[in-house]
Chain A
Amino acid sequence: MPVQSIFPRLEPLLPRVQKPIQYVGGELNSQVKDWDEAEVRWALMYPDAYEVGLPNQGVQILYEILNERDGVLAERTYSVWPDMEAVMREHGLPQFTVDAHRPVAAFDVFGVSFSTELGYTNLLTALDLAGIPLRAADRGAEHPIVLAGGHAAFNPEPIADFLDAAVLGDGEEVALAITEVVREWKAEGEPDGRDGLLLRLAASGGVYVPRFYDVSYLPDGRIQRVAPNRPGVPWRVEKHTVMDLDQWPYPRKPLVPLAETVHERFSVEIFRGCTRGCRFCQAGMITRPVRERSITTIGAMVEQGLSESGFQEVGLLSLSSADHSEIGEVAKGLADRYEGTNTSLSLPSTRVDAFNITLANEFSRGGRRSGLTFAPEGGSERMRKVINKMVTEDDLIRTVGTAYENGWRQVKLYFMCGLPTEEDEDVLAIAGMARRVIQAGREATGRKDIRCTVSIGGFVPKPHTPFQWAAQCDHETVDRRLHALKDALRADREYGRAIGLRYHDGRPSIIEGLLSRGDRRVGEVIRAVWEDGGRFDGWSEHFSFERWTAAAGKVFAGQPVDLDWYTVRERDEVEVLPWDHLDAGLDREWLWQDWQDAVDETEVEDCRWTPCYDCGVCPTMGTEIQIGPTGKKLLPLSVV
């Protein structure tokens, strides 16, 4: 059956919406494959606006890997803004892909990548616009398999009713494996219909199909048990781990948008995973072990990515980029290679460490030294022990002093508020640290124009971390502590004016907390919010706390659970957590011990440089730490 482009119907409507360019596709390196020649067709979605979704690495990697295969086609779709949604509803236009403007409902698999739980309402908008029933149970043979991935998929229970399946972990290999299952099932004449396909995926052990698991509850609201309801379906579903990143050097041909997006650069993941062991960090827990990409592959990817895209900036991505075993060589090699070409290099996510100043100097060779960012995360020494962010205040002051001496004029410091065991004084300690930073800067440079910006986010306990049992701090307390900090800075005559403070109110974090640690009963709240007009919850101008609390109040009425039960309640060791049947490889007993260590303010070392501390990932998942050094160097490019 031929699937038509909806573009002729869309085009006359584009002058009516904001930034129409985001809906027309045609990006450099995008591709449109023949529909009829493809046996398996994927629609890939990042459930946020195009400007945020297009640069997403996960979607770009899968798009390229899938399209490289014969008989496989992948196109992309993003959340449409409310003005476009209204126009589409008025004219009966379905959710479409930006590549060939095909209706999403016509694809075999609708894969949605969730970096954050705040995209859940946008999933419902896309399903509804696509004409796909919101509840998976209402879908028929003609509908795509709705599949979730990304970090939020490590607890997909709040959206379990809307999903057919979810995958945990690295997507490269499992996307191809799923493709093969779909291809075989179609080639065999789709035996047992939709159920047959989902059963095959579930039986593979690497795809979670929520409908094949029953959840029962205790009278007090806690989960009693999560158990498979079909033979052949595993009790636990494991995450996927790609070993040897050098075998997967993607993106090779980065998408270059015409529209302006949040990241205008070519990004190379220099390693995956992190074992620093910061206890608040879900990414650092669920992406273990550390797997480095080699310096030579990094060099080749940068070269190819720049020449394919024309980008002027390279970002070296990872959870803690300066931890790459050969980062010094990588930085120097790239800085040498691109000197005089007006290509800039950036290294997001770095730790507080004097070595990073050397790196930053290398990266800004000949350019302006404007701002450096560090993330102590906790204001007091005690707090940093609780979260296992091992940096002393003296280290930090020494580091920023060196930064100012080297010509950097502005330092940005990231913190969290609402951490477990936090007291008012832990947050007020941020003011003291910021004062010392300015003082150190003035001493190092003899100048008065030193600035420091303090950015504070609200802490949200996440599944698969030692803090998964913790009580989330209520938003009233978070707001009170932030106001006290603001007052303390404002009252400081000597340094206050040199310190900027950025923070958001604590209420969105409570909703993120509900969605992060929620179970299947939260799905009805998401649906009620969406029906009430909830969209783009990650955007402060669209987010409505009242809408969420009203929906939660209505849905949970008469139930033993409520918003507080999901968020500010501490769990005990024996409680069945909604994601216990989803296996990130972390040993539950180790996580519990790490939680106890946190409360005791005991730190744990990084297993890359000290003996294994038995988090459980490597033996469970059959993986190992892959780090250098390789001893190789980057060669300068020969200029043609």
Chain B
Amino acid sequence: MPEGPAPAPVIQRLRVRYAKRGRLRFTSHRDISRAVERAVRRAGIPVAFSAGFTPHPKISYAGAAATGVASEAEYLEIGLTETRDPARVRDELDAALPAGLDIVDVVPVRAGRAGDAPVKPGAFTDRLQASRWRIRLDGVSYDDAAAAVAAFLDAGEIEVERLTKKGRRRFDVRAAVQALEAQSPEPDRRAAEAADAPCAILRMVVRHSTPAVRPDDILTGLRQVADLAPPSPPLVTRLAQGPLDAATGGLADPLDPDRESGLPSGDDAETARDRTRPQPGDAASADAVSA
């Protein structure tokens, strides 16, 4: 065993929502984890380390959008050896990260009181039941996209094939799709783009399942049912992920349960939340795709 005292224990856990935007959507999950570790050090955030010969900072990630996919809603959790104001952590961590990896929201995980059942691992990822996606299809007209979406929604089952970690697998993509619609680009863009270059937007809510149904699986499905074949790579953005309201098909904020259980930093965090949280699907987050 290494010499010296045991590492300092975790005093505070913070849940962090971050975005990967623009050209930084080409970062892989490993790239992001290195960047976050360095940013934590640069920002002087008192992160806790694991014990052992090669101590690792206590930062854990809840899933991750694929390389090349932008996201407005990725989540990580970080263990601190001292209590910090979440709003300050958000600002300092954001400043220490390269532009394009942006911290959106930081909330403390409510510490269990003595006698409480310990929080079971994976409890947070259990809240991430579904994702809202936006896919920009350059070179595809709205009419073609809408027709493909209609055909997709009409189908009872759409089997696609993909190489997974367990080898080549066939699975249904239709059942996981909670909502799917085609749109034209935002009005301000329409004028500029409709003239020479058609463009369609797909929006969808997809349940997290095993194997995961990814946006490109949906595109494979659309190609199968309606020959929808975008001429250039689609721009995919995760707009939100969280608990799915089965009745409305909407997604709740997965950090809300932490907020509801009482905030150590009170009003500050409340203000910060209002200031920085983009509403899922608002123009700002949608624009980030092509930033």
Residues of A within 8 A of B (CB): 7, 11-12, 14-16, 19-21, 24-28, 256, 258-260, 264, 306-312, 340, 342, 366-368, 640
Which of these, B3, B30, B37, B96, contacts A366 with CB under 8 Å?
A: B3
Q: Tell me the smallest distance from the CB of A26 to a CB of chain B, in Å.
A: 6
- Fill in one digit per residue for B168-194: 1 if any A CB lies within 8 Å of its CB, else 0: 000000000000000000000000000
Residues of B within 8 A of A (CB): 2-4, 23-24, 26-28, 30-31, 34-35, 37-42, 44, 49, 53-55, 57, 67-68, 96, 98-100, 138, 232-233
B233 and A366 contacting across the interface, CB-CB below 8 Å:
no
Which of these, A258, A342, A366, contacts B27 with CB under 8 Å?
A: A258
Bound complex: CA A367 to CA B41 (Å) = 19
Q: Tell me the smallest distance from the CB of B287 to a CB of chain A, in Å.
A: 15
Q: Tell me the smallest distance from the CB of B139 to a CB of chain A, in Å.
A: 10
For B53, what are the chain A residues with a Cβ–Cβ distance below 8 Å? 367-368
B49 and A342 contacting across the interface, CB-CB below 8 Å:
yes
Q: Tell me the smallest distance from the CB of B26 to a CB of chain A, in Å.
A: 4
Q: Tell me the smallest distance from the CB of B3 to a CB of chain A, in Å.
A: 5
8 contacts between A and B (CB under 8 A): A12-B232, A14-B26, A16-B233, A21-B67, A24-B23, A256-B35, A307-B42, A340-B4
B24 and A24 contacting across the interface, CB-CB below 8 Å:
yes
Bound complex: CA A202 to CA B180 (Å) = 67
Which of A7, A21, A306, A308 has most B Cβ within 10 Å? A21
Q: Tell me the smallest distance from the CB of A259 to a CB of chain B, in Å.
A: 6
**A23 to chain B: closest residue by CB:** B26
Which of these, A26, A308, A312, A342, contacts B98 with CB under 8 Å?
A: A26
Which of A7, A12, A16, A308 has most B Cβ within 10 Å? A12
Q: Tell me the smallest distance from the CB of A342 to a CB of chain B, in Å.
A: 6
Bound complex: CA A312 to CA B38 (Å) = 8
Q: Tell me the smallest distance from the CB of A123 to a CB of chain B, in Å.
A: 27
Q: Tell me the smallest distance from the CB of B150 to a CB of chain A, in Å.
A: 27
Which of these, A16, A259, A342, A368, contacts B31 with CB under 8 Å?
A: A259
For B44, what are the chain A residues with a Cβ–Cβ distance below 8 Å? 640
Which of these, B23, B28, B42, B55, contacts A342 with CB under 8 Å?
A: B55
B23 and A11 contacting across the interface, CB-CB below 8 Å:
yes
Bound complex: CA A258 to CA B67 (Å) = 12
B233 and A15 contacting across the interface, CB-CB below 8 Å:
yes
Which of these, B3, B4, B42, B68, contacts A15 with CB under 8 Å?
A: B68
A26 and B100 contacting across the interface, CB-CB below 8 Å:
yes
Q: Tell me the smallest distance from the CB of B56 to a CB of chain A, in Å.
A: 9
Bound complex: CA A316 to CA B35 (Å) = 23
For A16, what are the chain B residues with a Cβ–Cβ distance below 8 Å? 233
For the complex with contacts A12-B138, A24-B26, A260-B31, 18 further pairs of A-B residues with Cβ separation under 8 Å are: A14-B26, A15-B68, A15-B233, A19-B28, A20-B67, A21-B28, A26-B99, A26-B100, A256-B35, A258-B27, A258-B98, A307-B42, A309-B42, A310-B39, A310-B96, A367-B53, A368-B54, A640-B44
For B67, what are the chain A residues with a Cβ–Cβ distance below 8 Å? 20-21
For A21, what are the chain B residues with a Cβ–Cβ distance below 8 Å? 26-28, 31, 67
B233 and A12 contacting across the interface, CB-CB below 8 Å:
yes
B41 and A310 contacting across the interface, CB-CB below 8 Å:
yes
Bound complex: CA A367 to CA B40 (Å) = 22
A366 and B2 contacting across the interface, CB-CB below 8 Å:
yes
Bound complex: CA A260 to CA B31 (Å) = 7
A20 and B49 contacting across the interface, CB-CB below 8 Å:
no
**B41 to chain A: closest residue by CB:** A310
- In the complex where A310-B37, A310-B40, A342-B49 touch, is A260 in contact with B30 (Cβ < 8 A)? yes
For A258, what are the chain B residues with a Cβ–Cβ distance below 8 Å? 24, 27, 31, 34-35, 98
**B40 to chain A: closest residue by CB:** A310
Bound complex: CA A264 to CA B38 (Å) = 11
**A12 to chain B: closest residue by CB:** B232
Bound complex: CA A89 to CA B34 (Å) = 33
For A15, what are the chain B residues with a Cβ–Cβ distance below 8 Å? 68, 233
**B2 to chain A: closest residue by CB:** A366
For A11, what are the chain B residues with a Cβ–Cβ distance below 8 Å? 23
- In the complex where A15-B68, A342-B55 touch, is A310 in contact with B100 (Cβ < 8 A)? no
For A368, what are the chain B residues with a Cβ–Cβ distance below 8 Å? 2, 53-54
**A340 to chain B: closest residue by CB:** B4
B23 and A28 contacting across the interface, CB-CB below 8 Å:
no
For B31, what are the chain A residues with a Cβ–Cβ distance below 8 Å? 21, 258-260
Bound complex: CA A7 to CA B42 (Å) = 29
B42 and A310 contacting across the interface, CB-CB below 8 Å:
yes
For A367, what are the chain B residues with a Cβ–Cβ distance below 8 Å? 2, 53-54
B98 and A28 contacting across the interface, CB-CB below 8 Å:
yes
Q: Tell me the smallest distance from the CB of B234 to a CB of chain A, in Å.
A: 9
**A28 to chain B: closest residue by CB:** B98
Q: Tell me the smallest distance from the CB of A391 to a CB of chain B, in Å.
A: 31
For B100, what are the chain A residues with a Cβ–Cβ distance below 8 Å? 26
For B24, what are the chain A residues with a Cβ–Cβ distance below 8 Å? 24, 26, 258
Q: Tell me the smallest distance from the CB of A266 to a CB of chain B, in Å.
A: 11
Bound complex: CA A258 to CA B42 (Å) = 15
**A368 to chain B: closest residue by CB:** B53
Bound complex: CA A310 to CA B68 (Å) = 25
A312 and B232 contacting across the interface, CB-CB below 8 Å:
no
Bound complex: CA A311 to CA B68 (Å) = 25
For B96, what are the chain A residues with a Cβ–Cβ distance below 8 Å? 310
Bound complex: CA A342 to CA B68 (Å) = 32
**B138 to chain A: closest residue by CB:** A12
**B99 to chain A: closest residue by CB:** A26
Q: Tell me the smallest distance from the CB of A96 to a CB of chain B, in Å.
A: 13
- By Cβ-Cβ distance, the 4 closest A-B pairs, closest first, are A310-B38, A368-B53, A310-B42, A310-B41
Bound complex: CA A11 to CA B49 (Å) = 38
Q: Tell me the smallest distance from the CB of A357 to a CB of chain B, in Å.
A: 17
Bound complex: CA A12 to CA B197 (Å) = 15
**B38 to chain A: closest residue by CB:** A310
For A28, what are the chain B residues with a Cβ–Cβ distance below 8 Å? 38, 98
For A12, what are the chain B residues with a Cβ–Cβ distance below 8 Å? 138, 232-233
For A312, what are the chain B residues with a Cβ–Cβ distance below 8 Å? 37-38, 41
B38 and A256 contacting across the interface, CB-CB below 8 Å:
yes
Bound complex: CA A311 to CA B41 (Å) = 8
Bound complex: CA A14 to CA B54 (Å) = 35
For B98, what are the chain A residues with a Cβ–Cβ distance below 8 Å? 26-28, 256, 258
Q: Tell me the smallest distance from the CB of B192 to a CB of chain A, in Å.
A: 14
Which of A7, A308, A312 has most B Cβ within 10 Å? A312
Bound complex: CA A306 to CA B44 (Å) = 11
Q: Tell me the smallest distance from the CB of A261 to a CB of chain B, in Å.
A: 10
**A30 to chain B: closest residue by CB:** B98
Which of B23, B27, B30, B53 has most A Cβ within 10 Å? B23
Which of A15, A310, A367 has most B Cβ within 10 Å? A310
Q: Tell me the smallest distance from the CB of A139 to a CB of chain B, in Å.
A: 32
Bound complex: CA A307 to CA B41 (Å) = 8
Bound complex: CA A310 to CA B26 (Å) = 21
- In the complex where A258-B98, A260-B31, A260-B34 touch, is A26 in contact with B39 (Cβ < 8 A)? no
**B56 to chain A: closest residue by CB:** A342
Bound complex: CA A19 to CA B68 (Å) = 10
Bound complex: CA A27 to CA B42 (Å) = 15
Q: Tell me the smallest distance from the CB of A11 to a CB of chain B, in Å.
A: 7
Bound complex: CA A284 to CA B156 (Å) = 73
B2 and A264 contacting across the interface, CB-CB below 8 Å:
no
**B100 to chain A: closest residue by CB:** A26
For B54, what are the chain A residues with a Cβ–Cβ distance below 8 Å? 367-368
Bound complex: CA A260 to CA B28 (Å) = 10
For B37, what are the chain A residues with a Cβ–Cβ distance below 8 Å? 310, 312
Bound complex: CA A367 to CA B138 (Å) = 53
For B55, what are the chain A residues with a Cβ–Cβ distance below 8 Å? 342
Q: Tell me the smallest distance from the CB of B50 to a CB of chain A, in Å.
A: 10
Bound complex: CA A264 to CA B30 (Å) = 13
Q: Tell me the smallest distance from the CB of A32 to a CB of chain B, in Å.
A: 11
Bound complex: CA A12 to CA B231 (Å) = 11
**A7 to chain B: closest residue by CB:** B23
